[in-house]
Amino acid sequence: MSSNLPSYLTISTEINSDLSKAIETLNPDKIVVLVDENTKKYCFPHLHVSVDAQIEIQSGEQYKTLETCIKIWTQLTAIGCSRKSLLINLGGGVIGDMGGFAASTYKRGMPFINIPTTLLSQVDASIGGKLGVDFEGLKNHIGVFQNPVCVIINTAFLKTLPERELKSGFAEIIKHALIRDAEQWEYLNRHSFEKINWNEIIPKSISIKSKVVQEDPFEADARKILNYGHTIGHALESHFLNSDTPLLHGEAIALGMILENEIAATVGLLSQGESAEINEFIRSVYNLNLQLPNYEMLRSHLLQDKKNDAQGIRFSLLKKIGACAHDVLVEETVLKNILK
């Protein structure tokens, strides 16, 4: 395990022995597993530890809400969970963010372990302690910072993941490379998506995020670079959330990165050449043929971004491949022009 990785994270080849060890140390009075219909079918059979109960929720971003949390809290109560019980969140970023939030607030906090089962949750959502739910259509509007007891990552879960979901996670791998690691970008740019070796790339991508989080755990400063692509990405994700064509998180971030590169190039932060190089690569991976909303349509979502202040909408924008600026104030006229 690389020394860059947080102490609570294990890249595991033996999921059951690693999970058993963690359970032995905790010695919980009850063990509950949170799943959705897909992780119940594809991932739960991989776990050979005995559990007291399973809580099943519906999969999908549209269920990452307080209403679903109420269902989880109600079931934890009915099962008789105490502050000494353990919740195992088995699933993607939705289960990890929401299950972690539900556990952190149940009786003021019960321990939880995250077993991320999507590429996106393995390289991104399970690291850094951000937990929460969407609220009134706003992404991750209600939440807390809290680390799980441990995160156990096993790439074997990815075998059943649909390609569209795999590509969604790949967007965060691209992001990590672009904000901090030009060498990793070179590797990605040389290989086609189909030829990426996940066992090689996942630990590297995790270590980039972990390093940034360690520098600034509560996002006062440098951690904001992890939001590159996310100001517009989250606004697009929220805009399409309840439409007939919802975007996956990573797809929204891929689009966000393209548009934010155009902004960075317009304001003279990023060279036109690098912006074009990155955007060509992203377009080659994703099928992004959709009718984009204009600035007016996205404005209310953009104004809710957690990085904003009284002066306006603040972006994390690339300065060059491998380096990212944060808190960049962008004029509305520039945004209107890019988001036509």
* Phi then psi dihedrals of residue 199, to 5 deg: -65, -25
Determine if 120 is a binding residue for ligand NAD (CB under 6 A). yes
Contact 310, 234 (CB under 8 A): no
Contact 215, 192 (CB under 8 A): no
> Which tokens sit at 185?
């970008």
Query: Residues 12, 75, 118, 205: which binds ligand NAD (CB under 6 A)?
Result: 118
**Catalytic residue of the set 175, 227, 251, 260:** 227
Q: Closest Cα to residue 129, out of 239, 212, 247, 14?
A: 212
Separation between Cα atoms, residue 336 and residue 315, nearest integer Å? 15
Separation between Cα atoms, residue 285 and residue 254, nearest integer Å? 9
Q: Applying CB under 6 A, which part among 7-15, 88-96, 182-190, 199-207 lies near ligand NAD?
A: 88-96
Query: Residues 12, 117, 210, 275: which binds ligand NAD (CB under 6 A)?
Result: 117
Interface mask toward ligand NAD for 214-253; x: CB under 6 A: -----------------------------------x----
Minimal distance in Å, beta carbon 28 to ligand NAD?
23
Interface mask toward ligand NAD for 20-49; x: CB under 6 A: ----------------x-xx--xx------
CA dihedral 116, 119, 124, 130 (to 10 degrees): -40
**Catalytic residue of the set 40, 64, 89, 130:** 130
Determine if 257 is a binding residue for ligand NAD (CB under 6 A). no
191 flagged as catalytic: no
- Single-letter code of the amino acid located at 52: D
Q: Applying CB under 6 A, which part among 155-163, 184-192, 311-319, 330-338 lies near ligand NAD?
A: 155-163
Minimal distance in Å, beta carbon 32 to ligand NAD?
18
108 flagged as catalytic: yes
End-to-end Cα distance, the chain: 46
Q: For residue 99, how far is the Cα from the chain centroid?
A: 14
Q: For residue 287, how far is the Cα from the chain centroid?
A: 20
Minimal distance in Å, beta carbon 139 to ligand NAD?
6
16 flagged as catalytic: no
Minimal distance in Å, beta carbon 276 to ligand NAD?
26
Contact 56, 40 (CB under 8 A): yes
Nearer to ligand NAD, 38 or 205 (CB): 38
163 flagged as catalytic: no
Separation between Cα atoms, residue 179 and residue 316, nearest integer Å? 9
Nearer to ligand NAD, 67 or 296 (CB): 67
Q: Closest Cα to residue 15, out of 127, 113, 161, 120?
A: 113
Quote the Cα angle for 95-98-99, to 5°: 70
Separation between Cα atoms, residue 312 and residue 303, nearest integer Å? 8
**Catalytic residue of the set 64, 167, 176, 223:** 223
Nearer to ligand NAD, 207 or 275 (CB): 207
48 flagged as catalytic: no
Q: Closest Cα to residue 264, out of 312, 302, 315?
A: 315
Determine if 92 is a binding residue for ligand NAD (CB under 6 A). yes
Q: Which residues are catalytic?
A: 108, 130, 172, 209, 219, 223, 227, 230, 234, 249
Q: Give the residues lining the site for ligand NAD (CB under 6 A).
A: 36, 38-39, 42-43, 59-61, 64, 91-95, 97, 117-118, 120-121, 124-125, 128, 130, 139-140, 157, 160-161, 165, 168, 249
